[in-house]
Structure 1
Amino acid sequence: MISRRNIRVKVMQTLYTIDTLEQEVKPGEPVKLLQKHFDESRSLLIYMIEFLNQVLSYAETDAHHRASKHLPTAQDLNVNTKIAGNELLWRIKEDTSFTAARDSEKLVHRIDKDLVRRIYVQLTESAEYKAYIASPERKKDEERAIVHFVWEQLILPNEAFLGHIEELYMNWDDDGEMAIQLFQMYLAKPGTFDFRTLISADKWSFAKGLLQAVLEKAEHLETFIHPRLQNWDAERIAVLDMILMKMGVAEFLYFDTIPPKVTINEYIDLAKEYSTAQSGQFVNGILDNIHKELVQTGKLQKTDFRKA
C-alpha cells in the first residue's frame, strides 16, 4: 500500500533528524524514529476515515438535537437519517481493525465537531443529498456515490478542513497524497486493511535496510561521492543533498532488485521536491557519474551491506 517513494521519504526524514541531533543516537533509536514516521502516516489515514465517518453519522446527532428542542417543529421531528445507515458507512463502522486503531489513537477527541456540523449542513443543502434521501431504496451504486460525493466534493476541497488537518498533522504536506490514495483504496474495500501493519513486511525490510545501510556504511558511501564534488566544499553541500546521494549509492551497491535508473530518477525527484532549486540537477550529475563508473569498472555487483 505504501510505495517505495514514500519509504524513501521516511528514510530521508529519519536520516535528517539523526543528522541534526546534538547528542549521539543510541543503538536501535534510528529504527524507532523510522517507525514513528510510519506511525504518523497511519494516524493520518485513520483520522481521515474517522472524519468522514463523523460527517456521515451526523444525521443522527442532528435528528436528536432537533427532537430535543423545547418546541420541536414537525420538520424537527422528521429529520431524514438515511445516510447514517449508509451501507458503505456501516462496513467502516463494523471494521474491527479500523475501530481498534481509531480507539487506540483516541482520535474522536481530536475531531473538530463544529467543522463536522458545517460540512453536514452543506451536504443537506446539496442537490446530490436531496436526490439521495428522496428514494427510500438502498441501491449499492447510490450508497457509494453519496459517500464519495461527501469526501471528494465537500471534505477534501474544503479549506477549513485542510487547515484543520495541517494543524493536527505536520506530515500532511509529505503524506497527504499517499494518504488520499490509501483512503480511496480503503473506501473501495472497507475491512480489507490491517491497520496494525499498514506497511508490508518486505517494504519494512527495505525501509529498515536502506536506513541501516546509509548509517553503517556512511564513510564508504562518501568515498564514491567526495571525489566527484570537484570545486564543491563537502561541508557546504545541502544536508539533504548529501543524504539523498548516500541513499542512492547505497541502493546501487546493496539493493539488487532495484534498477539503477529507477534509483537515479527517484532521488532526482526527491531532491527537487525537498531540497534546493539546483539540487535535482546536482544529485543527478553525481549519481549518474557514480553509476557509470561502477558499470565501467565492473563494480556494480550488489551485495548485502552487512557482508560488504
Structure 2
Amino acid sequence: MLNRRHLRIKVLQSLYAYYQSDKESVIRAEKEMMEAIDRIYDLYLYFLLGFAELKNVAEHRIEENKKKILPKEEDLNPNMKFVENKVIAMLEDNYMLIQASEERTVNWVGDTEREIFRKMFLHIRESETFFEFMNNGNTGFEEDKNFLIALFKTEIANFDHLYSFFEEKSIHWLDDIDLAATMVIKTLKGFEEEGANDIMPLYKDPIDEKDFVRTLLKKTIKREEENLKLIDELTSNWELDRIARMDVLLMEMAITELQEFNNIPVKVTLNEYIEISKFYSTPKSNVFINGVLDKAIARLEADGQINKIGRGLMN
C-alpha cells in the first residue's frame, strides 16, 4: 500500500504538471492526481495477474512438446516445478485479486498481451534464476515462494516488452513501476501456506490519506504567493528564478504541510522532503533545502504559525 512519502511524491508531480500547464484548473489538477494515484493499483494488479499468464504459457509449451513426432524424455516427463508453483495457484484463486481486477477492468486479454508473455517466458527459461530453481531439487511452499520472488525481481519486473506495454497504457506508469513492484514483493513475502493471503489495498486509510493528498495539493497552490515570499526572504543570496523549480516546489509543499497539518511532527515533515529531494532534484538539493527549511521552521515558530497538537509534534 502507499505510504505518506509516495503520496507526497504524487502531489509533487501533480504540482509540477499544474504549473507547467499555466495553472489551468485546480479542480482538474486534483482530479488527475487522484486518477494517477488510482492507476498505481492497476499496475500492481497487472503484475500479480502476470504470474498466471506465464504459467499458462508454460503449460501450453509442455503440451506442445508432448505432441512432437519424436519427443524426448524431457518432453514426455517435463519438470513441473514452475507450473505447479503453489503461490501462483493461490494468486489464480485469490478472491480479492479476482474481484479487484474485474472491477477495474485489469486483465491480460488480447493477442498483443499473450505475445508479451510468450516472449517473457522464452526469456525467463534461459535465465540463471530459472535454471537454478528448476534444478536445485528443493520443494515445498517456501521454495515456491522464494522461486517466484527471485524470478520477479530478476526477470519479470525489468522485462523490456512489459515496460513498453505499460508506457503505452500510461506514460506516468514508468515513474510508478518501482513502487508497484515493491508492493508485489511485499505481497508475495506475506503469503503463507495456510491463511487468507489477501492482496494489499491501495491506501492504509482511504478517507484519511485521500484527504491528506487533496489538502496538500490545494493548500500548496493557495499559499503559493506567501510561500514564495518566505522562500525568497530566506534565500537572499539567490535569485528565486535561479533555484531549481523542483526545489522550490518541495519547499512550498513542506512549508504548507508544516502549517496545515497539526498532527504531523515537524521533524517528520522536514525529513520527508529532504529524502524526496534526493531522488527528484539536483545532487546537492537536499543540503540546500534542509538549510532553507530549518530557517523557515524557526521563522514560522517564532511567528506562531506552526501549531501542533500532541506531545512531541514540535520536534
Fold agreement, TM-score > 0.5? yes
2:152 alignment partner AA? W
Contact 2:54 2:117 in 1 (8 A): no
- Which of 227, 251, 255 is matched with 2:257 structurally? 251
Contact 1:41 1:171 in 2 (8 A): no
* Shift of residue 82, structure 1, vs aligned partner: 4.5
* Shift of residue 230, structure 1, vs aligned partner: 1.3
Query: What residue number does 1:3 align with?
Result: 3
Distance 1:106 1:125 in 2: 25
* Shift of residue 81, structure 1, vs aligned partner: 3.3
List gaps (5 residues or longer) in structure 2: 192-196, 310-315
2:42 maps to 1:36: no
**What SS does structure 2 have at the residue aligned with 1:105?**
coil
> What's the RMSD between the two structures over aligned residues?
2.9
Aligned in 2, Cα 1:115/1:222: closer, same or farther, shift over 3 Å?
same
Query: What residue number does 2:212 align with?
Result: 206
2:15 maps to 1:15: yes
Distance 2:283 2:235 in 1: 18
2:296 maps to 1:290: yes
2:138 maps to 1:141: no
2:127 maps to 1:128: no
1:148 alignment partner AA? I
1:176-207, Cα deviation, whole Å (9 max, x unpaired)? 44223211221134542365x45631222211
Q: 4+ residue stretches of structure 1 with deviation over 6 A?
A: none
1:109-130, Cα deviation, whole Å (9 max, x unpaired)? 4461343222442369724212
1:222 alignment partner AA? L
Query: What residue number does 1:105 align with?
Result: 106
Contact 2:58 2:121 in 1 (8 A): no
Distance 2:223 2:101 in 1: 39
Aligned pairs for 1:264-279 within 5 A: 264-279=270-285
Range that drifts further, 110-119 or 266-275: 110-119
Q: Could you state the TM-score of these two structures normalised by the residue count of structure 2? A: 0.80
2:5 alignment partner AA? R
How many residue pairs were aligned?
293
Q: Could you state the TM-score of these two structures normalised by the residue count of structure 1? A: 0.82
Query: What residue number does 1:55 align with?
Result: 54
1:147 alignment partner AA? L
Contact 2:79 2:134 in 1 (8 A): no
* Shift of residue 100, structure 1, vs aligned partner: 4.2
2:183 alignment partner AA? L
* Shift of residue 247, structure 1, vs aligned partner: 0.3
Identity percentage over the alignment?
26
Contact 1:45 1:183 in 2 (8 A): yes
Query: What residue number does 1:263 align with?
Result: 269
